[in-house]
Amino acid sequence: MQNQPLAAKRVRFSRHIGSRLTLAAMLLMAAAQAQAVSSQLTLTTQMDLTPGNQAVLETALSNTGAAVDNLANLGLAPTLGGVGQSLDGVAAPVVSQVTGVTQQVGAATGLGGAVSGLTGNLGETVTALGDRVQEVNLPLGLGQGVGGLVSETGRAVGSAGGLLDAKTANGGQPVGQVLNHATQGVGELTGSLGSGGLLNLGGLAGGNAEGGLLAPVTGLVGGLLGGEGGGLLGGLGGGDGGLLAPVTGLVGGLLGGGGEGGLLGGLLGGDGGLLGGIGGGEAAPILVTALGNTGQALDNVLPLGLSPTLASVGETLDGVVSPVLGTVTGLTQQLGGATGLGATVDGVTTQLGGVVSSLGDQLGGTLPIAGVGGLVSGLGDTVSSVGALLNPNHPDAGNPLGAILGNATGAVASLTEGLGLGDLGLGGGEGGGGLLSPVTGLVGGLLGGLGGQAGNGEAGQQNGGLLAPVTGLVGGLLGGLTGGLGGAR
């Protein structure tokens, strides 16, 4: 060995040096790539919190209100839209920055186009199914309504790909697009019931139909709730004299809008409270669950504590909404039971919903985005709940509209939960197994502690969050508002 030719020693030495240089070059390249990613992600901490960014909550909350207005015109669409607009002053800019990061990751890893293709194809399939259902001549316009719900859910599935693929988002806000389509689907359902469908059968809904079965109720409600202006709820969206004008005014003032008046003065009214005389007891949770789920869908992307905040708003509104809608759905169930249509329609919708829900369960373990399966399953549960509007023996007959809205919005929350975006650590939380888990460590270190928790008077549990002073105060005040209203009832 000691007498090896000098040339052989030189070859081994050259290979040794070459391998060391190659390793060093790879380490330098990896370090440079990590520094580039870190520089890009660091930019996201410099949030542009000025108003004007794309809406996330405004359209979804307005759609939720419109879905209720289709059954009883309470003017909730502009009311909830105004609340969403105020909250978007903080939420939309931050969510836009976060989705910008996820789209960058999708482009860098190649996952964006692949996942978007899968969700796009699945969404088109579900939308086509909805279009076919719309062609089925179900009694009382339910074919049109259920089909519209299915079609919009398919569009929501397709829009989910925009969270990783900027081309799919097409310049829009993907979280807002998903929420918009899901809540618009519920509006399609209730709209079909109220336009030539269930609620207009024989003038059932009263309203413009003279002598309708509910004409005395809708006449009284119209006088109380104000219709096109004035009245109890006339100014809910931010106008003068509205029941919740103090709330929306305060939220607007905190988040960049205007508004006058105290938070509790116009709501509790001194002795017993204004809502106590209307609700007359425990209100059915029609909006509280739907709005809470809507907030949770966003909290899964960026933990701002919006779920308890919006749930508090929903609980407040349920004090007025629940008694009116309870009267309407009670009469529709009586009609369904007397004519026999209730059990028939319930059988069709339950069977269809079961098929869709089973499809979602099967998809849950096969797609890269686990939340798509939850979204489709939630759609199936929503369709199954529709029969409760007519069948008094349905499991959800006690609160059919609450079940429909809750299942639809819960489906969207399942989607965003399955994405695993909570792993980003924006609210200091922890998670695992999400689609973006390979990069959550780096992003969590850069963006940790961005969002503050809010709601139910527990604001400030996370110190140092960028949004904690705002969301904490709003959540605490609205949480206290709900407690006060509950005591008034």
Position 364 scores a pLDDT of 67
As given in the structure block, the two tokens for residue 281 are 């007891």
Helix axes 468-488, 306-339, angle to 10 degrees: 40
> pTM of this prediction?
0.54
Residue numbers of the chain with a pLDDT score lower than 50? 1, 19, 23, 26-27, 30-31, 33-53, 196-197, 200-280, 422-475, 477-489
- Per domain, the residue ranges of the chain are 52-204+213-488
CB 291 within 8 A of CB 314: yes
User: What would the pLDDT profile of 248-268 be if each residue is shown by its tens digit?
Assistant: 444 444 434 333 333 333 333
CB 453 within 8 A of CB 283: no
486 exposure class (CB count in 10 Å sphere: 0-12, 13-18, 19+): middle
Can you tell me the distance from the alpha carbon of 390 to that of 408, in angstroms, rounded to the nearest whole number? 19
